[in-house]
Chains A and B, each alone.
Chain A
Amino acid sequence: MSLSWALLVSLGLACAGYLIGRRRAFAVAGPDVRRLHSRPTYHGFSVALTSFIAGLAVMFIATILRMTGTLDVYAGPIWGWIVLAAAILGLVWGATRIDSGYKARNAVERMVMGVLMLCSMIAILTTAAIVLSLIFETGHFFQLYDWKDFFFGTEWTPRFQGESELGILPLLWGTLYISFIALLVSVPIGLFAAIYMSEYASPKVRSFAKPLIELLAGIPTIVYGLFALMTVGPLLRDYFAQPMGLGNSGSSVLTAGLVMGIMLIPFVSSLSDDIINAVPQSLRDGALGLGSTPSETVRQVVLPAALPGVVGAVLLAASRAIGETMIVVLGAGAAAQMSVNPFEAMTTITVKIVSQLTGDSDFNSPEALVAFALGLTLFVITLALNIVALYIVRKYREQYE
């Protein structure tokens, strides 16, 4: 019996356990249900849960053993039966516990609480799994490739036959350059859009423009990527780069940066909107009451008061830009180089993670493992930005609460 079938059957057993438990509880209670400590339904749930949890626990152990290789992959059927046996045992044990004084509700609630708690641990488990898998494979990589060459190397030329140069600096340069352009586009536009929405726009304009801008946020990044590849790239190449003699590449830092900037506009504007709205109205009234124009109020009172929050928002946007993948995969190109010409194709950390892991390199070669080192670098950078940004934003919120 395969594990997935065992799972279904133990689900059925749990249902049966519910009915059995309830029946027995009614039987024990006799004519007066009030003799029971808990309502019969809880007795039913208690039996069902003991049965199901017993089965699930065995299955979990089996899966772990299978993953670690202690257990043969083909040992599934036997374990299926063991799971079933555990479930039946659980059912029987649960059923024998039923008694008028048995506190079934408390037992059920304790079990449910345990399940709730386990679920909330998954977030920690995920983070731990991310960190562990990144560190583990990065460790492998650094056994094959010198870490100094990785962090300080200025050449990125992976070769199939080995002897690759895998320096992160050109990738880091591309990443930062593109992110910088993206912020250059999105921060002023997003910020001004938020200011206009909250300080100037009539309710009618707001109800029309706000959902439109939010729509930009709901569009998947692959769509932006395609937009960069098919529209923005050729446009920049034909009307700017070639006439100015700055290059012939459709994929370029500017293409990816511009499109990423558009993607970040709603992100920046909705964050700024929250932050600007958190500035108390009394400050605006104070400035207006002294005879300042609305723009003087925004520039001299609202924005300085909102500054920490806005800085936090910009950092969050930067972290987004650095970790963004599809736009740069389709818009930035694959050439690892450190140039200042924004019309040239450059590449980023995320692009190289994709290309090194989807290529044909052997998984245990440094050419593939380098992706994990890149991933770890990316994770650390974005994590640091996020932590700082979230801290700033939280401090800012507390100030006005």
Chain B
Amino acid sequence: MTTIWNATFISELLLSMIRMATPILIVAIAELYSEKAGLVNIGLDGIMAFGSLVGFLVSYITGNPYLGLFAGAFGGIAINMVYAVCTIQLGAEQIVYGMAINIFAPAIASFIYKIYFGISSSLISAQLMKPLPIPVLSHIPYVGDVLFNHTPIVYLAYLLVPLTYVFFNKTRAGLNYTAVGEYPKAAESLGINVIRTKYIASIICGFLAGLGGAYLTTCYISTYSDGVVSGRGFIALSAVIFGRWAPGGVLLAALLFGFTDALQLRLQVLNSGMPYQLLAMIPYLCTLFVLAFFGIKKAGPKANGKPYFKEER
């Protein structure tokens, strides 16, 4: 085992980490936008599943993975609007409704796939997005390949982190947005439109979660199958908690989870003799251990998960 830790292995591992962390990062930031407005959305897995189907389908039909990616994002918005209307307007319990989305969205995705490709189709592949190496930077030895030779969506994902940080910490809109998740009644009394903010949050969340799902089928695997998301939505949820609701923290958490995923994949490829099922447990077990050791007690927006009614007493 000691011999595998050579330069190629490590650079492959890091490259893979960046790639694996990307969907988790995007979706965790989706959740961050949702929770900052007081909406806990545990339906991420479902939104991702739908996004991955739409992304795959559009990419397959048009041959253009970029179109697929964006279509996936808009698919995410569409699904999340169901969640938004029910939790914001009807005050449905957010956890319960998130669960409903987790059941509902994959069912639709699977249905559409079967309708389009027939009941008993073999695996169908679509075009994957090609990496876009950044000139000059990608030629730096080791680092260049790890950091600057990715699909554009990867750059975008990492760009989201500082953008989100600036939004929440430096802009007026971000401050107002935060107030909605902390103390909606106070926000309302200051003329901030709580309901609208929550809808905006749901749109952003749906867009990004759909994008994260579509990433899987347009940039990562060239096929769609049920269960392609395999719990990444929940890992993203953990990343938000572990990242303490701060963009930087979320990035670190996503990288950590990406690393464990990359590690198990690399080890599988190396054929180290370990059964792949045991290796595949690593990311899930790591998530558990990380949360158990660091993710102590509640934090995050105060009014998180609570319904808000305008004429509440």
Partners in one complex: no
